[in-house]
Amino acid sequence: MNEDFATAMLRAVRSTRALKLAEATRVIQNALAGQLALDTRTSTPDITPSPPNRRSTPFPIDPDAEVIEPSAKPAVEESANSAGDGTASRRLRNSLGETVRILREGRLASGVFGSLHDVSLPGLAKRGPPAVVPDGAQFLARSFTCPAGSRSYRLYIPASASDRPRGLVIMLHGCKQDPEDFAAGTGMNAVAETHGLMVAYPRQSGADNASFCWNWFRPADQMRDEGEPSIIAGITKEIMAEFGLDRSRIFVAGLSAGGAMAAVMGETYPDLYSAAGIHSGLTYGSANDVVSAFSAMRGNGGLASHPKRLANGHRLRTIVFQGSADRTVHPSNADRIVAAATPTGSGWAVRKESGRSAGGRTYQRTTVVDAAGRPAVEYWLVEGAGHAWSGGHSAGSYTDPHGPDASSQMVRFFLDGQK
């Protein structure tokens, strides 16, 4: 911690004790912004903006946040401004180190702002709400380690097929998200329950990316048997072996940075997955560093790097969702994903249709099918939608409840290939 940041924290604590809460808020906000800027100089920068529904006011408090009770009786001090009857006002006190720790964890304690609520801070992953698990189902916390590194993950085991699930969906969250948030926002557990599928949600760590993004743009994380692809594939293989699953029922999907990493997994491990779902993502190999990642996200794409592909050149069956009004990932990226996934040669037909979701959003669906009518690629362009999971739930971040249900459509597409 640099000296300026420590000084600002001391000022904030003094302002808080004097009940000058607005001043304390401003000081901490400015100090954290400066400190986070310094931190990201030596770590991977955030390449995804804040969720569209984030308030502009400092330290917005979630009205549904869980109250955190203090674990021990706090120290108190006598206010310099005692009441007229001689009774001193008493307030909670926290050390500077404790105050900074609380702020970095993304919450405010009673000794800082007088209320015990979780809050959302810029640059910190949103903690998802507790998962609703049907009777007989499980939502387990697990971890996996291999030579490339370690990641924890959540695994949903459906009540409808707890002994022998029908398949597995690997779900890769976006920046500033975590498995719990992503599960709540996409509603994928409920869809999987209907079809007897398991869902695994690998968790990106803050130590590996300051904004909890999957590092889809780094050459070291675009290769088979290396980096993050090796870890995600390892999680997949571990679950497959435990539950006796074969490749025909293994799928990978993701949003934003997670969608881009799903594209990486489809290219580097087409022998492991049967189909991929990419929502608001980018094509494999479209960037090789942060600068080219920003360029690709703006729509200035192409293959900026030459990552290691699997030698057989197999194209994975792919379903793509993209909002036409996405200002984070330009819609042209979806066109590139579709072009890369479309099989070459004769015998393929393109079908187009338009529709309107129950929530009111119109969409265009383009499907590439073989001579027997089996879909190889499906592309949903949702009119007016931004950078958000289509048809998602407001319980999670980056969701658009008004669009067609991406989770249901992805699972339908995945399973259609098995007919």
Query: What domains can be seen in the chain, in order of their start residue?
Result: 3-118 (no CATH), 138-416 (3.40.50.1820)
Question: What is the per-residue pLDDT for 119?
Answer: 27
Phi-psi region of 212 (alpha: psi -120 to 50; beta: other; left: phi over 0): left
Q: For residues 138 and 163, give the distance between their C-alpha atoms in angstroms, rounded to a whole number.
A: 12
Q: For residues 393 and 129, give the distance between their C-alpha atoms in angstroms, rounded to a whole number.
A: 12
Given a contact cutoff of 8 angstroms between Cβ atoms, the answer to whether 281 and 262 are in contact is: yes
Question: What is the per-residue pLDDT for 161?
Answer: 85
Question: What is the per-residue pLDDT for 122?
Answer: 34
Burial zone of 37 (CB within 10 Å; 0-12 exposed, 13-18 middle, 19+ buried) = exposed
Burial zone of 104 (CB within 10 Å; 0-12 exposed, 13-18 middle, 19+ buried) = middle
Question: What is the per-residue pLDDT for 29?
Answer: 62
Indicate the SS3 state at residue 410: helix
Question: What is the per-residue pLDDT for 315?
Answer: 78
Question: Does the predicted model carry a pTM greater than 0.75?
Answer: no
Given a contact cutoff of 8 angstroms between Cβ atoms, the answer to whether 100 and 12 are in contact is: no
Q: For residues 20 and 387, give the distance between their C-alpha atoms in angstroms, rounded to a whole number.
A: 38
Q: For residues 36 and 206, give the distance between their C-alpha atoms in angstroms, rounded to a whole number.
A: 13
Question: What is the per-residue pLDDT for 293?
Answer: 94
Q: For residues 190 and 372, give the distance between their C-alpha atoms in angstroms, rounded to a whole number.
A: 31
Of 163, 168, 221, 173, nearest to 201 by C-alpha is 173
Below-70 pLDDT ranges, the chain: 1-6, 8-9, 12-13, 15-130, 301-314, 418-419
Output phi, psi for 371, to 5 deg. Answer: -60, -25
Question: What is the per-residue pLDDT for 302?
Answer: 62
Q: Which two tokens stand for residue 293?
A: 């990642």
Phi-psi region of 305 (alpha: psi -120 to 50; beta: other; left: phi over 0): beta
Output phi, psi for 156, to 5 deg. Answer: -95, 125
Residues whose CB falls within 8 Å of the CB of residue 239, separated by 6 or more in sequence, listed in order: 155, 168, 198, 200, 245
Given a contact cutoff of 8 angstroms between Cβ atoms, the answer to whether 190 and 275 are in contact is: no
Which residue shows structure tokens 């129950």? 358
User: Which spans in 346-418 are helix H?
Assistant: 406-416
370-383 per-position pLDDT tens digit: 878 889 999 999 99
Q: For residues 307 and 49, give the distance between their C-alpha atoms in angstroms, rounded to a whole number.
A: 27
Indicate the SS3 state at residue 76: strand
Rounded to the nearest 5 degrees, what angle is found at the Cα of 166, between the Cα atoms of 281 and 349?
Answer: 50
Question: What is the per-residue pLDDT for 209?
Answer: 95
